[in-house]
Amino acid sequence: MTTPVSSPVRPSPHGRQQSFTDPRRNGVLTFLTALFTLYCLLPLIWLLINATKSQADFVSSFGFSFGDGFALFDNIKELFAYDDGIFARWFLNTVLYVGVGAITSTFLAALGGYGLAKHSFTGKRAFLFVVLGSISVPGIALAIPQFMLFAKLGLTDTPWAVLIPSFINPFGLYLMWVFAAEAVPNGLLDAAKIDGAGEFRTFFQIAMPLLVPATVTVLLFSFVSIWNNYFLPLIMLKDPDWYPLTIGINQWNSMSSRAGNGELLQNLVITASLVTIIPLIAAFIALQRYWQSGLSLGAVKE
């Protein structure tokens, strides 16, 4: 029988036990954490405040001060009505790219990670080095070669030019590989084989429920990556009707310096930026419980 090991303590001058934790160190860490949190929240606060201003208030007032009225809903209405509702088209395009791309890349990563973790084949170690090397290569370095390849295939200026590159997620594959190696017990797989279950049935009914935490993590990473994707759509797409939100909002921002449109487009850019980040926040809040409930899914009693 073993007993838990307590943390080191020392007697205080008054006869009480005292921890070795330095209060000054805790205070410094708390201050640095608060400072970093404030640094991260300041742009969001600025965005929230300025999205509630009218065009006149935005031009005449300080960035972190509220305007004379609350014009958020008027700004949103104007945003979706501007240029025959092109923002709604960009929003739907982004939902298409994210929905198809994130779900497909997550499924392929889960399927590939499970196979690499639980099956042996020739060249498995070499494939591991290829995956790790792919993670180290930034996506922007592959954008030009991808454009030349898709141009030869005649797929540029189509949704496929954005969707197909998003299907491959080396980091997600590696994460699923590492997680599946520990979270899926070999005994369950052997029992499924004895019962006559095939490979795909074993994967969907046995492995997938155990891979939920990693699957949600990869899905969120893919969601954020595709939602914020900028450079690849920029070089692949020329038709504004296929723009995602990142390209469309940047186009408005570039036009904001033109005479007669500056105030209007600046107001639209701020409101559009606020609307754009809402799905990201909602996704993290909605899927957070899967992370918390899945912390012990990989534990197996011996």
Give pLDDT tens digits for 134-192: 888 887 888 889 999 999 999 999 999 999 999 999 999 999 998 998 888 989 888 98
Is 109 domain-assigned? yes
Q: 264-279: per-residue pLDDT in tens?
A: 678 889 999 999 999 9
Is 197 domain-assigned? yes
Residues shown for the chain: 302
Is 172 domain-assigned? yes
Non-local CB neighbours of 118 within 8 Å, separated by 6+ positions: 180, 181, 184, 186, 189, 207
CB 102 within 8 A of CB 223: yes
Is 192 domain-assigned? yes
Average pLDDT, the chain: 83
Is 249 domain-assigned? yes
pLDDT at 23 over 50: yes
Q: What percent of the chain is predicted at pLDDT more than 90?
A: 40
pLDDT at 47 over 60: yes
> What would the mean pLDDT of 58-75 be, rounded to a whole number?
80
Is 38 domain-assigned? no
* Chain Cα centroid distance, residue 101: 12
Is 142 domain-assigned? yes
Query: If phi over 0 gives left and psi between -120 and 50 gives alpha, with beta otherwise, what is residue 3?
Result: beta
Q: Give the pairing of strands 9-11 and 17-19.
A: antiparallel
Q: How many domains does the chain have?
A: 1
What is the reported pTM? Answer: 0.82
Residue 137: predicted pLDDT: 84
Is 97 domain-assigned? yes
The pLDDT confidence band at residue 297, using thresholds 50, 70 and 90, is very low
**Does residue 97 or residue 259 have the better pLDDT?**
97
**Owning domain of residue 172:** 85-255
Q: What percent of the chain is predicted at pLDDT more than 70?
A: 86
- Closest to 221 in 3D by CA, of 76, 110, 297: 110
CATH number of domain containing 139: 1.10.3720.10
Query: How far is the C-alpha of 166 from the C-alpha of 219, rounded, in Å?
Result: 12
Helix H or strand E encompassing 18: strand 17-19
Q: 226-272: per-residue pLDDT in tens?
A: 999 999 999 999 999 999 999 999 998 888 766 555 556 788 899 99
